[in-house]
Structure formats: structure tokens, C-alpha cells
Amino acid sequence: MNIEIIPAIDIIDGKCVRLSQGDYNRKKIYSENPLNIAKEFESIGIKRLHLIDLDGAKAKHIVNHKTLETIASKTNLIIDFGGGIKSDNDIQKAFDYGADMVTGGSIAIKSRETFLKWLQKYGSDKIILGADIKDNMIAISGWLEITDTDIFSFLEYYTQKGIKNVLCTDISKDGMLAGTAVEIYDSINKSFDNINLIASGGVSSKKDIEDLESINIKSVIVGKAIYEGTFNLKEYMSKN
């Protein structure tokens, strides 16, 4: 398998949900029990999970730490966790409750000093830079706020500081099942050949995965397509 599939579990009120374009008012609940979903992923060969605390992103501190702890303690999945990590206490709590990696997005805009401190303390293997974009501008606070920082200057700054893992989500694509932002990912990949770019948002089918593979993307997060059945993860994993 050339590209790593990383399923996403987004949490609100301890339940597995998906939003459309980051809109909390466009929420669909897929499971009351995220652990069951995580175990199902693990059973078909998935190694890594993208777990997002949407309540935390809104509240600006970790909320669903019990869900993180449950999945971490009852599966062997490598968990990258994000949502509401704004303080030293939050990030330590995330690791204490079982996260293997932490994604920081808003904090990397609002408090660069704090984010760089985390990068130095925990290392580039454990810290993922969250680069959520709308029209190529960085979006923060659970996508509720669009900044005046563009993706390329954002990445230029942090790659110089030693960041290796970048998770980029095109908000306009996310949850819409209408294809991925191949052009922007291709541009990022060509501009920053020293990062591991994790694509996110818009995957609707096996073809979208193949399109990302064709531009040398190594990892992709898939959410709604799995839950809606437009991408058969079990079948894909059995053949790759």
C-alpha cells in the first residue's frame, strides 16, 4: 500500500459525528459508541486513527478526554488527537490519556511561542501542524475564524522551525463527498518536499485516493466517505 488511510472519528458529546464544511449546525451522528468504530477499523488492518474533539475545539480546552482514554486503552491504534489543545495542561493531558501524536492548529497561529515550545519538548514525531484552509487562508477555532495568514507563508515559517508532519484540510471540501483539493496539495508538496503532508477533506471514493497517490501524497484522512459507504474501507484494505 503506497498511501496510508487514516480514518477519522470526530467527537461531540462522546458520540461519533461528522460535520459538513465544519458547520456545527450540519451535524450527523454515526455512532453512540466511538470505541466500537475504532475496533472495527483495527480489525480490518487500520493502524492509525485521527481523533478530533469537536466540543474541545469550540470550548478551547479538551472536553472528550474519556473517549480518547477508552480508545487508547482498548485498541492498539496509533492515535493522533486534536481539538481544544490550547495550553501546556491540555497537551500533557492528551498524551497522558493515550494520544501518540497531537495536532495543533489554532495554537500555531495564536501562540507561536507555545506551539514551538511543544515542538521542542515533545519532538517533531509527536507534534502535527494543523493547517486548515479556506481559499488558501488558515482557518482556526474549529473553522469558525478565517485568518489573514496564507498556507504557504504559514508552512514556510514552521518548516524552518523543524515541523515535519502537516495535516492540511480544505474546509470547502470537508464532508461534502465532492473530491479533494488535489491542486493545492500538489502545490504544497512541490513547495515543501521535506514534510509529510497528510491530506484531509473531500474524499468520496477510491478514485480520490488514487488521485492523491498520483501526486505522491503519503497519508490521507477519510471520514464521511467511510460512514456514508461511498468508500469501502474494508474492501480497499483487503486488496492493498
Task: Respond yes or no: is residue 193 known to be catalytic.
Answer: no
Q: Cell numbers for 4, please give them.
A: 496510508
**Residue of 53, 55, 90, 132 with catalytic role:** 132
Cβ atoms of 160 and 152 within 8 Å: the answer is no
- DSSP assignment, residue 75? -
Task: Respond yes or no: is residue 132 known to be catalytic.
Answer: yes
Distance CA 31, CA 152 (A): 37
DSSP 163-230: --EEEEEETTTTTS-S---HHHHHHHHHH-TTSEEEEES---SHHHHHHHHHTT--EEEE-HHHHHTS
Distance CA 207, CA 229 (A): 14
Distance CA 180, CA 162 (A): 27
Phi–psi pair at 179, nearest 5 degrees:
100, 160
Phi–psi pair at 128, nearest 5 degrees:
-110, 130
For the annotated catalytic residues, the residue numbers are 10, 132
